[in-house]
Each structure stands twice: as structure tokens, then as C-alpha cells.
Chains A and B, each alone.
Chain A
């Protein structure tokens, strides 16, 4: 039976710099500066709000994507759901089990592929899988059968008896995924699974995720790749600075973008009058100036607007340096909500 996940008003505040578990680029975390009075009391008190009151529900048997830039709080959320991070407040449930109160029961239901491979370096690839099966109480015969199957699926059979520490990054990642599937968990967590993978392995990964989903399993994946979220996820939550800024199916999210198309202009200057001119163009729903040399135009069309934009800039005596048309995508959605690109 497929297992759902529920998160209620989850917060995580780190009082010391977060360990490698939430190893995003720490600089983009939101910092809470203590007030002057507090500062005097406890000098140099470290406080980092990684997850700031998020709630969502993941339905049984769906592929759910957490999309956001580095340091948005994705890994911390996964850390809490997989019992590796203690929430400051709020609750999280895997099926009916509170992950903090009933850890062992929750752990039985989940498989985790971490952001960076954390394989047992003292073992061979085969042993990694065999012992993992043993930790979950599988019989000798069962775990041998499953180990051989997974080694085959992930094209590791010929390196099965080599020490894991000699593996390349891609092989380690494949073995991490095999390990997470070894005990046939009902919920599979993948934290940035395709980071650093070559395109071929990435496709293998997508196929594997889809195949596992076909078995009726719930899959939670974090990514900062738009196309990955779009291709795999049934539903998505977009997360930034520890808060959820939008959630829904990729289709719903994309149709929520005003206009759909985004035209990013670079100019030598952006006089206010010009922005007003842009707003009058057919199909334009929103115009935003970014810096003093750029403007973003949200519209229901892309290419057909270019001629009109060129005329408007010429009339204003402004030099148009670059036009970039972005089709409706999650990238534009993210940009719309945060004013930043995902890769910023």
C-alpha cells in the first residue's frame, strides 16, 4: 500500500553552522540578525533559519518535487523527513508515523539517496547492498537475489567486488540509488539525484525513478533543475529561503505565470517612459525594470512582440543590446516569484 507524507508547520533553526547534511551554499540561507539587546547578552550567537514554517502533503504513490535554489531548505526538509535532522518545531509524518517520535517505524518505510554519496567506504559494492539488506532484516537468499538484480540494473555487476572507494562519482551515485532501493521502501527520497551525473546516467536515473513509481511507490525528489522537475514530478513545491512560494502540478504552476512568456531585455538605460510604452504593447501583462539596464516583460506571446519593442526603444532613443525570450517554464515561474533566477 502506498504511503503518503504530511508536514505540519515545520521549522528548523540551526544554532551552529549546519553540518554537511544541509550542505547547500550556506551564503544564500536567510540570516536572522539578533537584536542589539540579544547581541549584548549572547555575543556572536549563530542562528540560521533553514526551514521557516512549511506545510504540505504528499499523496501516496505520487512523484513530488521540491524545487529551489541551493540553500533554499530542500535538504533540511529531506533531512527532517528521513530522521536525520531534528525539527525545531512542527511535525512530519511518513504514513501514520511521526518521524521524530517513531523513528524506527518511519525508517523501515523509507529509502534515501543523499545529495553526496555516503557509501560505506570500508566495503565492496556487493557488500554495501548485502549489508544494507541485512540491516533491514532480509533473509540471506533474498538479499543475494536482490543484490544481483540491482547490480545488473545499475550496470555495476563487473565492479561488484571492488572496494567502493575506488569508484567514480557516477558509479557511487548509481550504487547509492541501488542501496536506497535494496529494502524495497515505500517512499524513496532523492536529494539532488542528478547533480554531477553525465547525461546518459541521468536518463538511466529518470527511467529508474519512473519504473519505481510504476510499482506504486511514493517518490520525493529535490532538484534545482527545472526540466527534471517538469519531466518527473506529478506535483511540485517551489521553495526559497525556507518557505514554500508555490505548489501544484507543473502544468498548474506554469499556467499561473502571468502571460506565460518572458522577454528579458538589456538596454543601455531604462527611462520610465519606455516601461510605460512596453505596457501598452499587445498581450503584455506585466513589465518590471531590473537594475537600470534591464527590463522583464511578461506577455502572452514572444517573437511577435520583438518588432514593437525595437520600435519603442528606437523612439525613446535607447539602445537595445539583447533580447532573450523564455518560453513558459518553471524557471520563469521561479523568477516571477522571487525576482531571481534559480541559478543566481
Chain B
């Protein structure tokens, strides 16, 4: 393992992310904030939803933002760089094992997901207006949860980025990301799905469910949520599975 090269690869991604800061923020945050505004402000202020829904919604929005940011930060550049022009080749020729380049991509994606998650909290808070009550009583658990969520988002981005071709990006959004967001328990808690028993168990394959439920459990513990330690376990397993799958795909894609 060659830390100098790893750090250089990371600073390259940092440079690119800084250059694209504004478009990246808009891409990752605009949609969640619009949803926050419509669901959390318009529907609650108009009386169609109880005010308590605001606190319910915030952890879900945070989870969605982190997942979108992590997936896109890793998948989109990879899809482009593995195409025809093979832009990634100069980094594959850097003196480091191929797998570490994939790890570096995931670390860079995690940082972007964490930034998105941390930015969305105050932004959503402002958008939601008064009546939001979230707790930061368990900072350590919150930090671990954020890391696990960022981890599966970027590892998932790695897997998607190495599996999807440039022409299938639209399909990736409508077939993978959209259902994931709708059935990710971001806008409702998992317990509230009990009237749809089949759905309730089917959504358990969706990693976003654990992200939303986990953040809910830590930030708004008085609202219904899954056991936080079950969530930790599930996310750890998902992180490992996606990372292993992503690494395999990356290695096979990197070498002809």
C-alpha cells in the first residue's frame, strides 16, 4: 500500500469536487430540499399533515441526500471514465494496486456524502420552519451511523458505476434510485407500513430503509423507528457486501 499515491488520488478527486462545488451541491441538495419544502412546509402549514411530521421527515431527507450524494459522487465519474476515452487509465497506471483506486473512490464518495448530510440538516431545518425537534444526545452513535450510511452509498456507487453503461444512466435513475427513494422509509417510518405486510418485508432489501430508520432512531428517538443496533448490524453487512461486489466489478472492468 502506497499512501503517497493514495493521498494524491484523493487530492485529485478533491480538486475536481471543489471545481464542481456549486453544481454538485445543487444536484445533491435541490431535490431533497424541494421535497422538504412541499412535504414538510406546504402540507403541514396547510393542515394536511400534522406539524409533528416535520421531525419525522428530517432524518429521512438527510438519509436520501447522503445516499444520492454518495452514489452519484462515485458512480457518475466512473461511468464516464470507463467509457470510450478511458480517462481513468492514468490513475490505473499509478504505482498502486488497482483495488486501492476503487477504495480511494469510495473514500472520496463518503466524504462527499458526509458533507451533503451535514449541509442538509441546517438547510432542511430552515426550510421546514418552526416545530422541528431533533436530538443530538448520542453524538458517537450519530457519527457511526453517518459513516455507515456514507459507506454503503459510495460502495453502492462503485458497484453501479462499474455495472452501468453511459447509455443506461437514465435507466439507473428510474429503475434503481427512484424506487429506492420512494420505498426507503424516508417519508414515513417502517412501522407505518404494517398495513402493507408484503411491502413492509420487501423493502427490507433496500439499504435506504436502514439509513432512514437509523438516523430517525438517533435524531428523533420519540418517533417510531427500528432498533438502532439492528440498523448498525444491517448497514455493516450491506457495506461489506456492496464493497466486495464493487471491488470485484472494478477489478474486472479495469483490466481487459
Contact = CB atoms under 8 A, between A and B. Distances in A.
B11 A134 contact: yes
A65 to B, nearest CB: 22
B222 interface: no
Interface in B87-107: 87-98
A120 B87 contact: yes
Interface string B65-101: 0000000000001000000111111111111111000
B256 A86 contact: yes
A82 B85 CA distance: 17
Interface in B17-32: 19
Contact of A21 (B90, B94, B96, B256): B256
B91 A135 contact: yes
A84 B90 contact: no
A119 B90 contact: yes
B256 A104 contact: no
Nearest to A176: B90
Interface stretch (B1-9, B146-154, B183-191): B1-9
A131 to B, nearest CB: 5
A104 B86 contact: no
Contact of A127 (B4, B15, B87, B96): B15
A118 B8 contact: no
Interface residues of A, number: 37
A33 interface: no
B90 A132 contact: yes
Interface in A22-71: 22
A122 interface: yes
B96 A104 contact: yes
Interface stretch (A107-115, A147-155, A319-327): A107-115
B140 interface: no
A90 interface: no
Contacts, number: 92
B48 interface: no
Contacts of B8: 131, 134-135, 137
Nearest to B88: A118
B16 A122 contact: yes
Given A21-B86, A136-B5, A83 B12 contact: no
A85 interface: yes
Contacts of B86: 19-21, 114, 116, 118
A287 interface: no
A22 B86 CA distance: 12
Interface in B122-181: none
A110 B90 CA distance: 12
B92 A119 contact: no
A21 B82 CA distance: 11
Contacts of A128: 90
B12 to A, nearest CB: 5
Interface string A162-189: 0000000000000000010000000000
Contacts of A208: none
A135 B256 contact: no
B99 to A, nearest CB: 11
Contacts of A123: 12, 15-16
B255 interface: yes
Interface in A70-91: 79, 82-86
Contacts of B19: 122
A92 to B, nearest CB: 14
Contacts of B94: 107, 135-136
B248 to A, nearest CB: 15
B256 A84 contact: yes
Contacts of B77: 122
Contacts of B84: 20
Given A120-B87, A122-B77, A123-B12, A84 B255 contact: yes
Interface in B227-242: none
Contacts of A108: 95
A14 B93 CA distance: 22
A247 interface: no
Contacts of A137: 2, 4-5, 8, 95
Interface of B: 2, 4-5, 8-9, 11-12, 15-16, 19, 77, 84-98, 255-256
15 contacts: A18-B256, A19-B86, A20-B86, A22-B256, A83-B93, A84-B92, A84-B93, A108-B95, A110-B93, A119-B87, A122-B19, A131-B15, A134-B8, A134-B12, A137-B5
Given A83-B255, A103-B98, 18 more contacts: A19-B256, A20-B86, A22-B256, A83-B93, A86-B255, A104-B96, A110-B93, A118-B86, A119-B87, A122-B16, A131-B11, A132-B90, A134-B11, A135-B8, A135-B91, A135-B96, A136-B5, A179-B90
